[in-house]
Amino acid sequence: MATESSESEEEGKISGGNEKLILDDDLREMGKNAAWSVSSCKPGNGVNTLRDDNLETYWQSDGLQPHLINIQFQKKVRLQLVALYVDFKLDESYTPSKISVRAGDGFHNLKEVKSVELVKPSGWVSVSLSGTDPRETFVNTFMLQIAMLSNHLNGRDTHIRQIKVYGPRPNPIPRQPFQFTSTEFLAYSTLR
């Protein structure tokens, strides 16, 4: 899990953010095999800006709250972390405040997995999807929906500059129950 945000467990408030996204080694970005869509957007600030690796461009919604980002996969995937780049200093009232992450098979059966409140974030904010139970480390789902329920200063529309979704790395050795950890095993496990 990402370690940087100061999150208080009880209320799910996140303040601050990081310049750089720092992650565990065994996380892998899963967004490439997904279909991304948004509930509404202003022309020129569409869904592409969320995935262009450019922090200057942003998505701007253009409709009623809650604003939604939908991420749909072709098969069930295990997801662990969602990272958003938002900046209060730049976007002020466009900065999202309450965010709800929902998961399910499709639009019809989404259920909330996590809810966080951002307080003047500036930089990368990581939302972990894990529950307290170790069995709930991953969310195994077809679809993820990120809902912006409200913004700072009661703004109507929202800006998100970049979004990334992470899941566990698969075992590089095929058909094996467990991954290798020691250098020796790993050295012998592949030819390069």
Partner 1 sequence: MESLLVNSVEKNLTQFMFSNAIFLCERLLADFPSEVNLQLLARCYLSNGQPYSAYYILKGSKTPQSRYLFALSCFKLDLLGEAEAALLSTVEQQIPGGAAGHYLLGLIYRYAGRKNSSVEQFRIALSCDPLCWEAYAQLCSLGVAEEASTVFGNVAAQRLQKTHVPQRINFSEGETKDQLIDSDKASKDISVWQTEHVPGENQQDLKVKQLGAEIPPDTDNQRNASSHTNGWDLNTPSPVLPQVLDVPPPMLYKNMRRPEVEGLMSVHGEPRKKFVCEEESSEAPEESRRRRSARIAAKRKIPMFHHSPSESNGVPSLSSMIGKCRIQSSKEATTSGQSINDTGSSVDDEQNSNPRGSSLDPFSLMSGISEMLNLLKILGDGHRSLHMYNCQEALLIYQKLSEKQYNTHWVLMQVGKAYVELQDYFSADSVFTLAHQKYPYALEGMDTYSTVLYHLKEEMRLGYLAQELIAIDRLSPESWCASGNYYSLRKDHEAALKMFRRAIQLNERFTYAHTLCGHELAALEDFEDAERCYRKALSIDTRHYNAWYGLGMTYIHQEKFEFAQHQFQLALQINPRSSVIMCYFGIALHESKRNDEALKMMEKAIVADARNPISKYFKANILANLGDYHKALKVLEELKDSAPQESSVHALLGKIYKQVKLYDKAVLNFGIALDLNPSTSDAVKIKACMERLIVPDELETEEDL
Interface residue list for partner 1 (CB under 8 A): 24-26, 28, 78, 80, 134-135, 137-138, 168-169, 172, 174-192
Judged by beta carbon, residue 28 or residue 98, the one nearer partner 1 is 28
Q: How far is the CB of 186 from partner 1 (least distance, A)?
A: 7
Q: How far is the CB of 179 from partner 1 (least distance, A)?
A: 5
Judged by beta carbon, residue 8 or residue 183, the one nearer partner 1 is 183
Record the tokens describing residue 38, joined without a space: 């948004």
Residue pair 14/88 in contact by the 8 Å Cβ criterion:
no
Burial class (CB in 10 A: 0-12, 13-18, 19+), 139: buried
Judged by beta carbon, residue 30 or residue 148, the one nearer partner 1 is 30
Q: How far is the CB of 127 from partner 1 (least distance, A)?
A: 16
Please state, in angstroms and rounded to a whole number, the distance separating the CA atoms of residues 103 and 157: 23
3-state helix, strand, coil in the chain (%, to 5): 15, 45, 40
Q: How far is CA 98 from the centre of its chain?
A: 14
Phi (first) and psi of residue 189, to 5 degrees: -80, -20
Q: How far is the CB of 23 from partner 1 (least distance, A)?
A: 10
| Residue from 5, 22, 4, 2 nearest 119 by CA | 5
Q: How far is the CB of 32 from partner 1 (least distance, A)?
A: 9
Judged by beta carbon, residue 27 or residue 143, the one nearer partner 1 is 27
Instruction: Say if strands 13-15 and 111-119 run parallel, antiparallel, or are unpaired.
Output: parallel
Judged by beta carbon, residue 106 or residue 170, the one nearer partner 1 is 170
Record the tokens describing residue 161, joined without a space: 């500059």
